[in-house]
Every structure is written in structure tokens, then in C-alpha cells.
């Protein structure tokens, strides 16, 4: 029988109840097991660390050397305490064989993806929806889903003026048909109009995801309160998607004044925004920590919430479940971060990654 690994003194976050408590965790054969007195077990003392189900970043761009924007998956994945990243439309069906071989199969991080409705994805530039003739057919999508559906979480549609150009709202209308035929949700990038956000929101249905929901550009959510409230009531999900120009702390406050929305936290990371303004998923969480959110609630927004949005298996720290863990610290030290508009966000506490554990195996650690 294989030996048990023991993680001592972890402040374990219960993402269902919003609480945390110090516990000792026992792992055998990649899964959590009940407490045991077995001798000879490998013991890791993580005093001062929180332990949570593996973090999920639901919006990144990791199609290295193929897409117009990219960053290496493990750099923003397990090396930042993020066990699962979701590429948001970098690949379409045309280049997917490269994405599968070079990213999904080659990285320690669990990589899922939204498939771009344009066959070329972001591999021929960033105006992929300007040519309606490049959009995949229903038949192509159904065949693709049958062959590659395991890591596929939905379809990506980037609805801003520079992407759609003269196509206007038509790509989204077509994507709605693809979504319904294939039974896949849409992730909608919102930015500069046209098309107007009211047109976009009114086409969305339960399970669809709006990313960049707190951008500070003209025509954002706060300009369409009724359409926003209606979308929330219909079960449309909302995602932060920080990026280089898509998270405004001021816009976030305006949206919160309109009404409650239970948004997930993601980064939209790629090379040019990695150092600043985004930094990492934990840096993004730290900005919200300074705005009054709790450690436990922010952890839920990168674990249970995106997993429910993406229809991924629930991640729980309990007997019989895979031992997939993010270990992190809350560093008590002043620091200055910024949002995507350059607004300074002074913090006196921030998230810091300590280790990534996949099925009981420590795949990366900073310091324990």
C-alpha cells in the first residue's frame, strides 16, 4: 500500500461556506483520505499558508508563438499557484492541432479553452470577426466537439468595434446559433462600441459569460442598467477579465451601485500586460482585497464560481476527492498596484503564491 502524505497546519478555505480553519490534510494515491496514524508518512508543514482547491483563471491567452497575443501557460498557471487556465479564444478550428500538441498536452497546468468562432482564431491578427466567411459552420463545430470536447468549455466571441468592424452584431447572432446547436455557452468580450452593449446583452442566455464586465470605456454596463439587470436575472454570468485595458476600479464601483452581480475573477493575461497592469491572478485578487472583499470570498471567485460557470467538476477538499491544491499566503506589507486605467490601488495585504499541488504531487513551490 502506498504511503500517506500529510500537510500540516494549513488554513483550509471552505469555498462553500466562506470560512477558513486550520486543518491537517491526508493524501494517498492522489486523493484526500481520512486521518491516519500511519508511520513513515511524508509530512509538509505549511504553517502560515492558506490551502484552497486549485485556482482557476478563466481568461488567459497561452497559444505561444501562434496567436497575436500570448504568454507561456505554466508561467501564469502552476508557477503562480493556478492549477487550471482557460484560453479565451486564441485558437479556432484551423490551428487547434498545434494548440493541442504544444499547449494542452505539453504543460503541467491544466489548460481548457474557449474555441474562437473564427476558424483562424487570433492567429491571423485581432480582427477575426470582420470576415464572416471565416466563421466555422455548425457541421464543423459539431465534428470538432465530438473529437476534442474534453477540454472545450465554450465558444469565444469578441464583440468590439476593432474586431467586428463592418460585421457589426452579425457574428454574435451567428454565434448564438452555433451555441444552441452544439450546446455550448458563449464567452463574450465586450469593449468599444459598435455594436452597442444593449444589443449584445439582449442576445445572451443563461450560462453565457460576459468578460471585461468592469471596463471603463464608453458604453459599459453602467450605461445600460436595465439590460444588465435583465441579463443577471436570466442567468448570464459575469467575469472580470482584467487585461491591459479592461478593468476599471471606478467602473466596478458604478456597476456595483446598479445591482448585485456574482462575478468570477480572471486576468486576460498575455505578454504585454503581464508585468503591469495585471501582474497575476493573485495580484488581481489583491486589488479586490483592498476594496473590501474577504480572502474567503475572493478564493471562491477563482475556485467554485468559475468551475460552476465552466461546467467543470466541483473541487472540494474532502475525502475521496482529487488532492488538487493551491497554497498561498496573505502577506502583511504595503504595496501599490494599479488597475487597467493606471489608477493606483494601495494595498496593505496581498495574496502571494506558495505552492501548487496536483493529485497530491507538489509540481511547483516558492517557499514552504
Q: Give me 188's grid cell.
A: 463574450
pLDDT 10s per residue in the chain (368 long)? Answer: 466 699 999 999 999 999 999 999 999 999 999 987 676 778 999 999 999 999 999 999 999 999 999 999 999 999 999 999 999 999 999 999 999 999 999 999 999 999 999 999 999 999 999 999 999 999 999 999 999 999 999 999 999 999 999 999 999 999 999 999 999 999 999 999 999 999 999 999 999 999 999 999 999 999 999 999 999 999 999 999 999 999 999 999 999 999 889 999 999 999 999 999 999 999 999 999 999 999 999 999 999 999 999 999 998 999 999 999 999 999 999 999 999 999 999 999 999 999 999 999 999 998 65
Q: Give me 315's grid cell.
A: 473541487
Q: At 76, phi and psi to the nearest 5?
A: -105, 0
Question: Cell match 489548460: residue?
Answer: 111
Contact 32, 323 (CB under 8 A): yes
In Å, what is the CA distance from 351 to each residue of 28, 56, 106, 342, 346? 28, 15, 28, 20, 14
Find the helix or strand (DSSP H, E) in which 330 lies. Answer: strand 325-338
Q: Give me 258's grid cell.
A: 446598479
Give the pLDDT confidence score for residue 46 in this predicted structure. Answer: 95
Contacting residues for 143 by C-beta, under 8 A, at least 6 apart: none
Give the pLDDT confidence score for residue 324 in this predicted structure. Answer: 97
Q: Give me 108's grid cell.
A: 503541467
Contacting residues for 129 by C-beta, under 8 A, at least 6 apart: 117, 118, 135, 157, 158, 159, 163, 164, 165, 167, 171
Specify burial of residue 97 (Cβ count, 10 A radius: 0-12, 13-18, 19+): exposed
Q: Give me 150's grid cell.
A: 474534453
In this prediction the pTM is: 0.97
Contact 170, 118 (CB under 8 A): no
**H-state helical runs in 26-169:** 73-76, 96-99, 138-148, 161-164
Give the pLDDT confidence score for residue 1 in this predicted structure. Answer: 44
Residue 207: name the closest of 162, 168, 238 by CA. Answer: 238
Contact 209, 238 (CB under 8 A): yes
SS3 95: coil
Name residue 326's beta-bridge partners. Answer: 52, 356
Contact 353, 282 (CB under 8 A): yes
Q: How far apart are CA 118 and CA 96, in angstroms?
A: 12
Give the pLDDT confidence score for residue 35 in this predicted structure. Answer: 86
Contact 91, 113 (CB under 8 A): yes
Name residue 8's beta-bridge partners. Answer: 45
Residue 187: name the closest of 207, 208, 169 by CA. Answer: 208
Contact 308, 239 (CB under 8 A): no
Give the pLDDT confidence score for residue 212 in this predicted structure. Answer: 98
Domains located in the chain, CATH noted: 5-52+317-365 (2.30.40.10), 54-309 (3.20.20.140)
Amino acid at each position: 500500500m502506498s504511503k500517506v502524505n500529510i500537510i500540516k497546519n494549513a488554513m483550509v478555505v471552505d469555498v462553500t461556506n466562506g470560512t477558513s480553519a486550520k486543518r491537517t490534510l491526508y493524501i494517498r494515491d492522489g486523493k484526500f483520505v481520512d486521518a491516519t496514524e500511519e508511520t513513515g508518512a511524508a509530512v509538509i508543514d505549511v504553517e502560515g499558508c492558506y490551502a484552497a482547491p486549485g485556482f482557476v483563471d478563466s481568461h488567459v491567452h497561452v497559444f505561444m508563438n501562434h496567436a497575436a497575443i500570448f504568454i507561456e501557460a505554466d508561467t501564469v498557471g502552476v508557477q503562480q499557484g493556478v492549477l487550471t487556465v482557460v484560453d479565451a479564444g486564441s485558437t479556432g478550428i484551423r490551428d487547434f492541432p498545434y494548440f493541442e500538441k504544444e499547449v494542452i498536452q505539453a504543460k503541467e497546468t491544466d489548460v481548457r479553452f474557449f474555441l474562437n468562432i473564427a476558424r483562424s482564431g487570433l492567429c491571423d491578427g485581432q480582427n477575426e470577426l470582420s470576415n464572416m466567411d471565416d466563421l466555422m459552420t455548425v457541421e464543423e463545430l459539431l465534428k470538432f466537439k465530438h473529437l476534442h470536447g474534453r477540454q472545450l468549455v465554450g465558444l469565444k466571441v469578441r464583440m468590439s468595434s476593432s474586431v467586428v468592424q463592418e460585421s457589426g452584431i452579425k457574428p454574435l447572432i451567428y454565434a448564438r446559433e452555433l451555441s444552441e446547436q452544439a450546446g455550448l455557452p458563449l464567452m463574450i468580450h465586450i469593449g468599444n462600441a459598435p455594436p452597442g452593449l444593449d444589443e449584445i446583452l439582449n442576445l445572451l442566455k443563461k450560462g453565457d459569460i460576459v468578460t471585461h464586465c468592469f471596463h471603463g470605456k464608453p458604453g459599459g454596463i453602467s450605461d445600460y442598467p436595465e439590460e444588465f439587470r435583465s441579463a443577471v436575472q436570466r442567468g448570464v454570468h459575469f467575469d472580470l477579465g482584467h487585461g491591459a485595458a479592461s478593468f476599471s476600479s471606478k467602473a466596478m464601483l458604478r456597476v456595483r451601485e446598479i445591482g448585485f452581480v456574482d462575478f468570477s475573477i480572471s486576468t486576460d493575461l498575455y505578454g504585454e500586460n503581464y508585468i503591469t497592469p495585471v501582474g497575476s491572478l493573485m495580484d488581481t485578487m489583491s486589488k479586490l482585497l483592498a476594496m473590501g472583499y474577504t480572502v474567503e470570498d475572493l478564493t471562491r471567485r477563482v475556485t467554485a464560481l468559475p468551475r460552476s460557470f465552466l461546467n467543470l467538476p466541483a473541487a472540494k477538499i474532502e475525502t475521496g476527492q482529487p488532492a488538487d491544491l493551491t497554497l498561498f499566503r496573505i502577506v502583511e506589507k504595503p504595496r501599490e498596484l494599479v488597475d487597467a486605467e493606471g489608477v493606483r490601488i494601495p494595498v496593505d495585504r496581498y495574496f502571494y503564491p506558495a505552492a501548487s499541488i496536483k493529485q497530491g504531487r507538489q509540481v511547483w513551490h516558492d517557499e514552504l
